[in-house]
Structure 1
Amino acid sequence: MGMSSCQKITIDVFIQLKDEQERADALIDGSKPIKISLPTDGSGPNARKKEEGFLLIAGLISPPYPDRPCLPVKSRRRRREQSTVATPPEIAARARSRRAISMPGSSGVTAFDDLPEWLVVDEILVRLPPKDVLRCRAVRKSWRSGTSTDAFILGHHRRQPSLPIIQHKLGICRVVGGSNDLKIRPVIRYDGSFTKFQLQAACDGLLIVSQQANFFICNPATLKCASLPRPPLRPRFSFIDVVGFYRHPTSGEHRILWVSYTKPIRIYETFQLPDYFILAVGSSQPRCIQWPTVSKQKYFPATRSTDCPPVHHRGSLHWLMGLNIVVFDTVAETFRQMSRPTQLGDMVSLLDMGEALALCHVAPDCATLDVWVLQDYDAGTWGFHYRIDLLGMEASPPINWMFQSIPRMALINERELLIQRHIHHLLHCDIDGVFLGNVESEERLSCWTLTRHCLQESMISLPLFETQEEEAVNQEPPFSIVL
């Protein structure tokens, strides 16, 4: 079957995917009757050709964003009118009989089982949200095996949107929804403890959260969580923090770059240079990383990921440090520096624009944001890209810019961005400075912050998850996953 005919598959194929999933759920829990769409003869509303093709598939199980249904309301109403309640014996009987479906451009009918397995896995399941793919694994063994390969998991992860993360005192949230209706929804809720929590890092859908000296790594999409080993602390008044979190390009393992440092208690005490360690997730044997030092140097080559997460680009981690950019090569495991436009001053943040690095410069009046792009990475050539004038933005309702703080900006895609200038206010606009709306929270949040972390969901699992579950040594995390 060529790709041209694959694009002509009718909506019935995808509805049957829904039914297969519901049958599996009902057989697992036989006490719950479910609704199943009655067979059709190839005519009627379900047989209409959908020009959008595979882009509508995800909506037949659950839309990627609840506020953006992939099917019109009328289509969903017709499907409900064609539904009846089936008992578990009837479900099992229907599961044994294969329903015929029609294919546009063909003279007869074909069965769902006639679809190539690669088509279902590589063109349909790969486009669903992680939660729906995990449910579909219970439908057929072939789907479970096909969606469990490293190639599928990484390919599926690359298709997921990268969503800005918001942190507040009670947990971690993310921004979701359509271009005209963004919402803030929770991902993790902290317990009632007064101990401070911190989001340390995010990579490949995995989050690292700390509470004092305890570190945890979790995958919100799979609800997996484990306590995280860390390098030992120095003597006296010392600290340890995550500096970077990345997937090693060669081995594929996830690694953490840690920093261990001591804060002088008295002003006359000698400043001690920090130590940097690399620790593979799950390992307890850290490796110390050497970095070039200058006599009497009193700054770190890389800062904490909590405050300023590095930008992953071209296999390296990038931090904005002073008037330079510090680069850590994840393969050679070495630090170096690269230049940036010094005329932008120090009110600058580093952004990831996908294909290039970018700098966001905030004017002294905190009302203008200029974005510069690294046009040539090897030559270090930067160029002005666009400007956002907050005072000239026509917002509805009008924005009161009095008593605002330094704006924080996060990119949604190449055309849209988020800007926060108040602890209770997040606006949505495009790169032309056109106001698109205010982002509201579904919960009453206080003192929240738009971080520079992003969550791109995945079904990636770690050996550490399974190891701690088998050995029953998993420390109970002081938070709950509500994604």
Structure 2
Amino acid sequence: MMKQRQTVGNLDIDGDLTYEILLRLPAKTVLRCGAVCKAWRHITTNLTFLSDHAHHRPPEALLYNSFGKATSKINMELDALSVAAHHQAAVPERRRLACFPRYKNRGTGRLPRTGVSEQYCPLLASCNGLLLFRKGIDHYVIYNPVTRQWAEFPRLTGGRNLMECHRESGFYFHPQSGEYRLLCHCTMNRAVYYMVLSVGGDEPRRLDVEATEIELFSTTQYTRSMMTPGALHGHLHWLQHPEGRLTNHMAVFNMVDETFKQMTSPPVTSKFFADLLATDKFLMASEFTDLGVDLWVMEGYGAMDDRWELRHRVVLPWMRGVTLERPLLIEGGNDGDVIMGTAYGLGVYNVKSKTFRIVITVKPPDALLLSRNMLRESLVPHTFFDNQQHHPTCLPLFHFLS
């Protein structure tokens, strides 16, 4: 009996290992392979292949290249560090993504005399291989470090007077429209509401949902983790958020219909010293201990009897003898991996095998400046990059180096 040939999209890959080999190569190598012959170019430009390739890419931690007396540096470098087990080496390789000013020095070459730093182009979030940066107050830029393409979001102010206050509250992909969107909590003239910015869009859009005011003295508490929600099953989840404050529940945002609801919070001692993340299947929460992290797992997600269970207690080897050091839960990867670290180390805990693997450690006075964001390389094309009008003066001091 003749075997039926296997196809992916419009690709015939039966009996040919080329597709599987290309699928596991780094993004830059895939781009080079596409120039070898027409057959390989046909594979490496196929949308199905590009989507599969992005899904197979190992996670990379994002961290800043500043050691020791980091506050004296004018420039900052954003690096990517692979945390995949098969990429480990004696000295993990840090791949440079970008270089940008740490302060707006107005051409003086010195820090502001007021002593108050004006952070310039901070990294806010990542989603599907795309990074979100902010320039100034309300200027947002999305960037793909693999293809070196970037595009701008519409400005919140639109040339009008600046809003009294706005806080970024989530960066997400809207599957129905194919848009990447930024959710902002806004306060203006005592009116409180949410605005949505779509990359490549013309104007911000106001959501028709009720908004809860952020208390003046609780701003730090409720905005510390607003840009690092746990994304699972088409929803964003926050341990601390204005929409969960009054009931002490978790706030949940539906990324499809763009509405809020609430869910049961994990029984952590203090939300301020806890983090929330999503693995490939589970919603998890952390509670920090003297030697590491306790991990809570939500059972029965979406059911009436959803509950939290303490499943894992992780000891971070470099925590012994370290005081006042708060662990940072970064993200859940595929295959049950949870990436976590502190200023002195970065490692991966696997919830299936219950094993911990060290990626990198440093000793004082050196320190790791970790981001809560992870990166997975993506070659998936986006029309908003092609349609964007690029202005060289948009980010005059920002250099993309990947």
Q: So what's the TM-score if we normalise by structure 1?
A: 0.63
Query: What is the distance in 1 between the residues matched to 2:355 and 2:21?
Result: 35
> 1:435 and 1:355 mapped to 2: Cα distance?
20
CA offsets per residue over residues 67-90 of structure 1, 9 Å max, x none?
A: xxxxxxxxxxxxxxxxxxxxxxxx
1:279 aligns with 2:188: no
Aligned to 1:61: none
1:318 matched to 2:266: no
Distance 1:342 1:275 in 2: 29
Structure with larger Rg:
1
Which residue type is aligned with residue 453 of structure 1? N
- 1 CA distance for matches of 2:150 and 2:300? 40
In structure 2, which of residues 192, 201, 208 is the aligned counterpart of residue 290 of structure 1?
A: 208
For 1:62-461, list aligned pairs within 5 A: 119=16, 122-167=19-64, 170-176=76-82, 179=85, 180-181=88-89, 183=92, 185-192=94-101, 194-195=103-104, 196=119, 197-213=121-137, 214-232=139-157, 235=161, 238-261=164-187, 272-293=190-211, 308-321=227-240, 323-346=248-271, 347-363=273-289, 366-379=290-303, 380-390=306-316, 393=317, 401-410=321-330, 411=332, 414=335, 417-422=338-343, 425-428=344-347, 430=349, 436-437=357-358, 439=360, 448-461=368-381
Distance in 1 between residues matched to 2:42 and 2:374, nearest whole Å? 29
Q: 1:3 to 1:429 in 2, by over 3 A?
A: farther
Q: Could you say if the C-alpha distance between residues 460 and 319 of structure 1 is closer, same or farther in structure 2, counting changes exceeding 3 Å? A: same
Tell me by how many angstroms 1:455 deviates. 0.4
Structure 2: distance between partners of 1:307 and 1:295: 14
Aligned residue-pair number: 352
Q: Which has a greater percent of helix? A: 1
| Shift in CA distance, 123/387, structure 1 to aligned 2, threshold 3 Å | same
SS of residue matched to 1:342: coil
Which residue type is aligned with residue 383 of structure 2? P
Alpha-carbon distance in 2 for matches of 1:464, 1:144: 23
Q: What does residue 399 of structure 2 align with?
A: 480
Gaps of 5+ in 1: 6-114, 263-269
Q: For the residues of structure 2 that align with 1:305 and 1:141, how far apart are their CA atoms?
A: 49
Please say if residues 204 and 460 of structure 1, whose CA atoms lie closer than 8 Å, have aligned partners that are also in contact: no
Q: Secondary structure of 1:153's match?
A: helix
Q: Distance in 2 between matches of 1:3 and 1:437?
A: 45
Deviation at 1:171, TM superposition (A): 2.6
Shift of 1:306: 7.1
In structure 2, give the amino acid aligned to 1:317: L
Q: Distance in 1 between matches of 2:266 and 2:19?
A: 44
Superposition deviation, residue 373 in structure 1 = 0.7
- Alpha-carbon contact 1:200-1:209 (below 8 Å) kept: yes
Asked if the contact 2:97–2:401 (Cα under 8 Å) also holds between the matched residues in 1, the reply is yes
Q: Tell me, which stretches of 5 or more residues in structure 2 are unaligned? A: 7-11, 67-75, 105-118
Instruction: Measure how far apart 1:372 and its partner are.
Output: 0.8
Instruction: Give 1:280's aligned amino acid.
Output: S
- The answer to whether the 8 Å contact 2:131/2:143 transfers is yes
